[in-house]
Chain A
Amino acid sequence: MTHDPSRRDFLRAAAGLTVVLAVRPAEATPATMQDAIRAVVGTAPVTKGRVKLELPPLSENGNAVPLTVSLESAMTAAEHVRAIHVFTEKNPQPEVVSFRLGPRAGRARVSTRIRLADTQTVIAIGELSDGSFWSAEAAVVVTLAACLEET
């Protein structure tokens, strides 16, 4: 089996899979997600903990999955959360969003709605004012993926 993409695409289409799936762009992989994380944190170590990532374990529709990220922090000028970054493993692009906050936020808690192209792991990274990075991850099962429907 060669890895000529056009041949593979043709075989996929012939096998009865949807054309949309066959022409889907290359998805991000855990490796590209790691690269994207490195681009944000640099060489600093990322430690698990301190971050609370809330996502539904099962989502019927990957087009709008509610996400909340929070960290316990005094949010003072001396000690606060500087940023919260979110990454995914298998979306076409690993970056999801970066929130920039500071002592004026009062509380390190943000929410939004994200797209998930597949069942996958989502990672949230908190960047503290002392330069340390903390993370949490959550696995989400997606029954109807985003990005695939035709218009």
Chain B
Amino acid sequence: MAETLISVPPRARRGESVEIKTLVSHAMETGYRRSQLGERIPRDIIRLFVCTYNGTEVFRAELHPAIAANPFITFSTVATESGTLAFHWTGDNGFSVRETAEIRVD
């Protein structure tokens, strides 16, 4: 299973905008490269990243082959209430990885 690295501040003030950093291990094979035998290496990329905050979608990114290997995405969200941030990456060949992080809002 792909490894993930997520940075979410564990505590935040209500209404504050917090920065979230996410990284997932994935080759992001573009589909434009060829092997040494000259055969085209088929595309295998992550197509979509979605972040939900207590079940409500707050951010999404649609990725194309021009995103570097091990997609790294930084974005922000408003700390509205304590709860769970869920991250979901989906892509070619049935790729699907979920991760969650807790945030406490005072």
Contact = CB atoms under 8 A, between A and B. Distances in A.
Interface residues of B, number: 34
Contacts of A105: 17, 58-59, 75-78
B67 A113 contact: yes
A99 B57 CA distance: 13
A139 interface: no
Interface in A96-135: 96-107, 109-116
A151 interface: yes
B41 to A, nearest CB: 7
Interface in B14-60: 16-18, 30, 32-36, 38, 41, 53, 56, 58-60
Contacts of B67: 96-97, 112-115
Interface of A: 19-20, 23-25, 63-65, 68, 88, 91-93, 95-107, 109-116, 146-151
14 contacts: A23-B38, A63-B68, A64-B68, A64-B69, A93-B64, A100-B59, A101-B59, A102-B58, A105-B76, A106-B17, A109-B75, A112-B67, A113-B71, A147-B33
Given A104-B58, A106-B76, A150-B36, 11 more contacts: A20-B34, A95-B64, A98-B62, A104-B59, A106-B78, A110-B73, A113-B68, A115-B67, A116-B66, A149-B33, A150-B33
